[in-house]
Structure 1
């Protein structure tokens, strides 16, 4: 066990950003905000990423290491909180600050996910092991090296200490974070690299996974067997929250919506010019977002239409998640920066300097209203 302390000292950058929010709330002119943001972005926080050699088998799934682009930040003043938690009254306006930086590996981190109660955070990537973080103490334990190649995705089973991992070694493995020394069992059947997986929110014995050959498999983990195979997902698979009636999948530059009960495709949503890299559902399950490196789109589930689109102004998008505390606020991970987008207000984003490398994965926790970001800079950061 390593002991890591929560970072409590605000950096000059964070203090400047908080001051900007306070200025906006007291009615100062927008041009003052713009000038301050520009100065803030010149603080020199971002440094070049120190790249590690990567296996030849790890291609476009892993790296878009490009220079950061100086974007104008726009704090959000009209966001509606999802809850009346006491911490909301501590700030007069919206804040988004780094709480902790978790750094315990020497390899790129590709995925992270919170347990349902928010007490645990799992992260994984090139190291071929999963790090399980205790969110109260920030202690961590490592699993055994169950996979022979890098881990592409990690997801907790709802309301459980059980989690699953997918890997370039073409397998899916199940683990218990309470007993991480050995995997519980392995699911074999994919013929290519497994890139993503997810648990059904209610039928927690049902697991979905997809591989680089556009094959999606549904597994019954109690029976340890595959119950359905289809051609509909390559990059990512995500069940609709709560009822779990739908599955959103990324395949090339389209998003597929599939009936999880009948396994029949319901819609094929087009609009992205480049490959869809990430999908995330709003907690209500009424709409979801999709990310390609040049754009972000928000879709209506009922209408099957694109409600909002955000074009990248230079920073190549990679990952996304909805903020757990505010409705329709999308957090987008790119190269070194997080971009917060509230499409109801405008197509401008608030840019937050976050990492020294590509932000490969984002996760949110409804219980604690925290967001986690995993990066190629070997760190996982916690935000609130």
Structure 2
């Protein structure tokens, strides 16, 4: 058996029955793409960024639709409401907007109250009328979809907020070089995950909600929620890491977005391989457990699909 041009690491990935290749690319943006997310059923992919509008991609037909530019500044994060065609966008214009992908020609609602750039948002996995957002001042606001003002305000999130999947008992929030975990019901901080020397750019949960990955420019750390300890760490070896997502089909595989390339890290074996992917920074990654797809959004103005 000859594996021409493949490193031993790649061979081992292939021997696992694993392959990872680009299956689609979308270029509908005239600006940097900084966020993306799949709907719960995997049938829609939403992306947004510097262009101030959201692009909605039908995964069956590969047709795209766009929302109007109702945000006045760049969009920083985009998230689908669980089991719904509704989605929300956060923006530098200090607002969050709610949309319906089935009728994206206008926003359903605008949520105001943040005093700084809104950097991230996320919907609760079970209480789907609940979502939260964080801003550049480290403020986290909780909202009810049907209400016009935030229901609760706390501190501790700046770069990104992500609810624990499935149960939503915890909220992970990244600010500077620390990731904080909050009990959603009591608002109590349960963990302060410390160890990054540079600021954390993004965080992601595994599907079980037992593990959390955090990415800074120079390293990725994977934390056990039970112990609060870092159980895996990968240094970047010069590539500037920015985003991450657990692979939808392989629980021990973390996909990391850097500058132009993706890093596939098999945590169980502590082996990684580099996949050339984009012409710019890979600002965000998303995955769909339903379809096994991974999406990468980049500053090169494109979104790519991988499987």
TM bucket (normalised to shorter chain) is over 0.9
Aligned to 1:224: 148
Aligned to 1:151: 75
Pairing 1:170-319 to 2, within 5 Å after superposition: 170-319=94-243
1:334 to 2:258 alignment: yes
Q: CA shift at 1:74, angstroms? A: 2.3
| Structure 2 CA distance for partners of 1:73 and 1:224, relative to 1, 3 Å | farther
- Would you identify which runs of 4 or more consecutive aligned residues in structure 1 move more than 3 Å? 76-79
Pairing 1:8-87 to 2, within 5 Å after superposition: 36-37=5-6, 74-75=9-10, 77=12
Q: CA shift at 1:123, angstroms? A: 0.5
TM-score (norm 2): 0.97
* Bigger share in strand: 2
Structure 1: segments with no counterpart, 5+ residues:
1-22, 38-71, 80-90
Q: CA shift at 1:222, angstroms? A: 1.8
Q: CA shift at 1:189, angstroms? A: 0.4
3-state DSSP class of the match of 2:128? coil
1:129 paired residue among 44, 53, 61: 53
2:288 paired residue among 360, 365, 370: 365
Larger radius of gyration: 1
| Structure 2 CA distance for partners of 1:73 and 1:208, relative to 1, 3 Å | farther
Native 8 Å contact 1:73 1:350 kept in 2: no
Native 8 Å contact 2:113 2:149 kept in 1: no
2:245 paired residue among 291, 311, 321: 321
CA distance in 2, matches of 1:154, 1:243: 21
Q: CA shift at 1:286, angstroms? A: 0.6
Aligned to 1:60: none
3-state DSSP class of the match of 1:74? helix
Structure 2: segments with no counterpart, 5+ residues:
none
3-state DSSP class of the match of 2:240? coil
CA distance in 2, matches of 1:232, 1:73: 43
Deviations 1:117-168 (A, max 9, x none): 0100000001100000000111001101110000000000000000000000
Native 8 Å contact 2:82 2:128 kept in 1: yes
CA distance in 1, matches of 2:13, 2:105: 47
Deviations 1:250-304 (A, max 9, x none): 0110110100111110111100000000000000111110000000000001111
* Bigger share in helix: 1
CA distance in 1, matches of 2:8, 2:160: 29
Count of paired positions: 307
Q: CA shift at 1:371, angstroms? A: 0.1
Native 8 Å contact 1:147 1:169 kept in 2: yes
3-state DSSP class of the match of 2:305? strand
